[in-house]
Copies of this chain bind each other. A is one copy, B any other.
Amino acid sequence: MPRAGLSREKVLAAALALVDREGIAALSMRKLGAELGVEAMTLYYYVPNKGAVLDGLIDMAVSRVTVEPVGPWREWLRAFAVAIRRELLAHPALLPLVATRPVMAPGGLATVERMAAALRAEGFGALEGLQLVNAVATFVVGHTLAEAGRTPGHDDPDVADVMEGLDPGEYPVLVEALRAGLGTPEDHQERFDRALDALLRGLAPRTPL
C-alpha cells in the first residue's frame, strides 16, 4: 500500500502543474519528486523514465481534444482546429513537446479515426480524408508554435523588443506592419482564421459523392 498515495496519474498531473507554472525546462525528476513530497527515484516506480512523463503529458493534452464529427465536414473540422489551438494555448509549455514528438499518441488516435470515417462517408478516400485531417492538424500546430511557442531554456526576447530595435530604413514594411499590429493576439487570431478558412475552402474530396 502506498505511503504517499501516488499513482501514474498523480505524477502526470503534478508534472503538468509544474510545467505550466515554470516551463518545460524546469521539469526534472528531482523537482517533480519534491513537488509530490518524495525523492526522485520514487517516481521510477510509477513511470519507466522521464520520456514516459513527457509522453504522458502530450497524451493528456491530445486526449482533451474531442470533436463530434457530425454535420457539414468543413464545420466540424474547423471546430477541431479551433479546439486544438485552444488546448495548446492553454498549456503553451507543452507546445514544443506536441510539435516534436510523433503525434500518434494513443489518446488521439480514436478521434482521428472517427473523423476520418466521417470524411469517407462524405466522399473522401480513406487516405485522402486522413491527409485532410493531418493537414489541418499540422497547420494548427505550426501556427500555434509561431503564436506561443518559446524555446525551453530561452529567455524570450518578445516581439515588442525586437520591434524597437528594428531599423525603419532597412525594414520599412516590417516596421509598418508591426505598428499596424503584427504579432498581437488579434493578429494571430485573424491570421489563424483566414488561413484556416483558405485551407478548408481549398481542400475538397477529389471524387465527390
Contact = CB atoms under 8 A, between A and B. Distances in A.
B203 A130 contact: no
Contacts of A157: 102
A67 to B, nearest CB: 16
Interface stretch (A1-9, A11-19, A190-198): A190-198
A7 B147 CA distance: 35
Given A51-B154, A125-B180, A139-B142, A117 B173 contact: yes
Interface of A: 51, 95-97, 99-104, 109-110, 112-113, 116-117, 120, 125-127, 129-131, 134-135, 137-143, 145-146, 149-154, 156-157, 159, 162, 170-174, 176-177, 180-182, 187, 190-191, 194-195, 197-199, 201-203
15 contacts: A95-B100, A96-B100, A100-B151, A100-B152, A101-B151, A102-B157, A109-B171, A112-B174, A113-B174, A117-B172, A127-B177, A134-B191, A195-B203, A198-B198, A198-B199
